[in-house]
Structures are given as C-alpha cells and as structure tokens.
Amino acid sequence: MIHAMRIPDRWRSDYALWVEVFVLLNLAFLALDIFMAHSENSFRRQAEYIPLYFSLLAPPLLLIAVLARERWNKQGLWSALGHIVGWISVLVGLAGVIYHLESGFFAEYTLKSLTYAVPFVAPLAYIRWLIQVSACC
C-alpha cells in the first residue's frame, strides 16, 4: 500500500514558507507569460530576454533557499538568496516599466492604442513579491 507523504505540522502554520513557495511559483509562471508575450515580436530587443532569463533562474534559486532553510538549517543562505532574488525582481520590474513606457503608448490616446499597446504595468508583476512579503511577515 502506498502512503501519501504527510505534511509536517509546523509547515501548515509557517506563513513565510508559503509566501516563499507562492513567489517561487509566481516567478516560474511569469517565465511562460514573458515568453509568450515577447515572442509576439520575436524578442525584437535584446533586453527583452532579461526578464525571461531571470524568471527561469529565480525559481531554482528560491528552491535552493527553501531547502537551505528547511533541510540544511541555513537561515543565512535562505535569507540572502531570498533578498537577492527579491531586489533583482524589483530592478527587472522597474526597468521593464521604463522600456514599456517607451513603446509609444502615451503618444496616441485611441481605443486601438489602449487595446493593442505594450502593457506598461505588466513588469510590475516582479514587484508583487515585495507587497506579498510585506503583508505577510
């Protein structure tokens, strides 16, 4: 008979762990979103690869951070990797907003520009972690 893995009781009330897992999954799915969105123009600018590469690299780093905390009892590594990924997320998000603002969205206020323009707020998805962590912990 196969027994399901039992989640340790301490994990159920460990909100920092759940936020960490949520951010990890958020960044992982953001890679797919960025790939689909930037593929529309065949990654016209080289800078469009930066959020894609970051979103592919960040989840494994956060997984190492979670393992460092939960398995290896290395709180310092967990904290350092979490902060590094978090602050790079902020930088990538703000740089993305600046690049998207250069798209000509504000040059023309028509229904077409509002519907089909580059979504200048989309890169702010990288900054969500800061709001989530601040609200949780």
Q: Please, which pLDDT band fits residue 92 given cuts at 50, 70 and 90?
A: very high
**Spatial distance between the Cα atoms of 89 and 9, rounded to a whole number of angstroms:** 31
Report how far Cα 100 is from the mean position of its chain's Cα atoms: 17
The answer for 42, left when phi > 0, alpha when psi is -120 to 50, beta otherwise, is left
Residues 6+ apart with CB under 8 A from 2: none
pLDDT for 82 beyond 70 = yes
**Spatial distance between the Cα atoms of 133 and 82, rounded to a whole number of angstroms:** 11
Question: Is residue 120 within 8 Å of 105, Cβ to Cβ?
Answer: yes
- Tokens standing for residue 132: 């989530």
pLDDT in tens, 11-62: 778 888 888 888 899 999 999 999 998 888 899 889 899 999 999 999 999 9
Domain ranges of the chain: 15-136
pTM over 0.75: no
